[in-house]
Amino acid sequence: MRVPEETLHEAVKRYGLSERDVIDFSSNVNPLGPSSSAVRAAKRALTEMHLYPDPGMTGLRKAIARYFGIKPEQVTCGNGSTELIYLIPRVFRPRKVLVPMPAFTEYAAAASVAGAEVVPLYLPERTGFRIDPLEIAFALKGVDMAFLGNPNNPTGLLMTKAEMLEIANYALEQGVRLVIDEAFMDFTNAESTIKEAVQTSHLICLRSFSTFFGMPGLRIGYAVSGESVIGEIQAGQEPWTINRAAEHAAIAALNDWRYTKKTFRLMEKERERLLSAVRILPGVETFPGSANFLFIKVAEPKAALLAHKLALRGFLIRDCSSFPGLDSRFLRIAVRTGRENKKLILALRELLTR
């Protein structure tokens, strides 16, 4: 079994800190936490823990379908989008899977577990790690499946809908199943490809309740595609992967528009503030992005050492050297509240101006 990156609990233990004294900038989760409506719904559902959850996840699939104006039959849910990332290659059995890198490491891991050969496409730093649709079109030759993050993790780069559809058309022409991970799309005002995915059998969109909706502990994700594709995914899925509390919390979160607007206001304001402060630090280069985190390169000290020094001060950031395609100079920093961001900037300024 593949072990995920270090958890907050593990990091706190390693540095001899207490969780209340740590601000976690390494995790790309909404700093507002979950919607209060979602929390109340989960608490109510816990009073029904003597009842089995709905094996068909009917209520949640209907809520997601209403949210996007599609059919429930075009949606399936999983124990986090990670379950679906692993499930899709197992169901469709690709021989070769294309993964532009750097990318969320679970794409390659899931392909390998399913017995597929991972075909990496290393994106050059000189282009800002941007994905060129024509380059992807060439790389799609000879593969059966491809994973793309939009926005990408860890770079935060967002491709336009036109660019994504261009790639989707190339995939269709070459008989490649394209999986688009939109786990961070909720943080943007960009157009999703979900409406196009439901009309095809080669395009699958993934979403998560972990990041924008602040519920990684409940493990809820979903896939959207044509009805026949969703049917195949469901046929290969184990039953009971989502519990009652998670399903009810997710439904409530989708309906809490005040929470959605509050999150947008926070991110719009604080991302720009954090970016403006980070980009003027000595030895720091920032990259354009659209997600709820910053992707940066540092000259000195190396990313791991800087992350270590910050951790000793109670700030956790993500050293990106473990991402294939990146080296020891790259870091990812989540956007948090104004007060928390200011504290981090003061610590960074102190460490980088010595």
What confidence tens digit (pLDDT) does each residue in 219-233 have? 999 999 999 999 999
Q: Residue 245 carries which DSSP code? A: H
pLDDT of residue 1: 47
pLDDT of residue 299: 87
Distances (CA, A) of 298 to 55, 245, 285, 315, 349: 48, 42, 6, 17, 13
Q: Which tokens sit at 172? A: 């269709």
Q: Which tokens sit at 1? A: 């079994």
Q: What are the tens digits of pLDDT across the range 160-196?
A: 999 999 999 999 999 999 999 999 999 999 999 999 9
pLDDT of residue 5: 62
- Which residue matches tokens 């209907």? 62
pLDDT of residue 138: 95
What domains can you pick out in the chain, each with its CATH number? Answer: 8-34+258-352 (3.90.1150.10), 36-255 (3.40.640.10)
Q: What are the tens digits of pLDDT across the range 25-72?
A: 999 999 999 999 999 999 999 999 999 999 999 999 999 999 999 999
Cβ neighbours of residue 209 closer than 8 Å, sequence gap 6 or more: 215, 218, 220, 221, 249, 250, 253
Helix/strand/coil (H/E/C) assignment for every residue in 73-108: HHEEEECCHHHHHHHHHHHHCCCEEEEEECCCCHHH
CA–CA separation, 196 vs 168, rounded Å? 10
Neighbour count for residue 48 (Cβ, 10 Å): 12
Q: Which tokens sit at 28? A: 């790309």
Q: Which of 213, 214, 207 is nearest to 185 (CA)?
A: 207
State the DSSP H helix or E strand holding residue 334, giving kind and residue range, or none if neither: strand 330-334
Residue 268, classed as helix, strand or coil, is helix
